[in-house]
Amino acid sequence: MKPNKIYSLLGLAMRGRNVVSGEFATESAVKDGSAMLVLVAKDASDNTKKLFTNKCSFYEVPCFQYGTKEELGHAIGKELRSSLAVTDLGLADAIIGKLEETDKLGGSEHGEN
């Protein structure tokens, strides 16, 4: 995995206890309003992608597909993670900015939902 700003920001958010990971915890954060951004791994199951696309759309939470389960897990110092939520607005905005910048540079690493 090559280092990049998005993974660095996720690590920073994790150290500040502003990340919840795993399907159940991420879904709970979306429902209770604490999630400011949801990231779903590109290699997550279709059911997982659909679940978070629909939940985030309903609760109006930005949701992106980015990286792999291994990369997301490694970025936050854990094992494989197919989904995670950032709970700090400032960090979420910074990550969204980097995701959109990556998209503009032609490295379509994600899909916004």
Point out which residues pair with 86 in neighbouring strands.
19, 37
Confidence grade of residue 112 (pLDDT, cut at 50, 70, 90):
very low
Tokens 């958010």 — which residue? 13
Distance CA 44, CA 41 (A): 5
Over 90: is that where the pLDDT of 113 sits? no
Residue 2 has pLDDT above 80, yes or no: no
Q: Where are the domains of the chain?
A: 5-103
Q: What is the pLDDT of residues 31-89, one digit of tens each?
A: 999 999 999 999 999 999 999 999 999 999 999 999 999 999 999 999 999 999 999 99
User: How far apart (Å, rounded) are the C-alpha atoms in residues 9 and 44?
Assistant: 21
Q: What is the pTM of this model?
A: 0.88
Distance CA 101, CA 57 (A): 22
Beta strands in 8-105 (DSSP E): 19-21, 37-40, 63-66, 83-86
5-103 falls under which CATH superfamily? Ribosomal protein L30/S12 (3.30.1330.30)
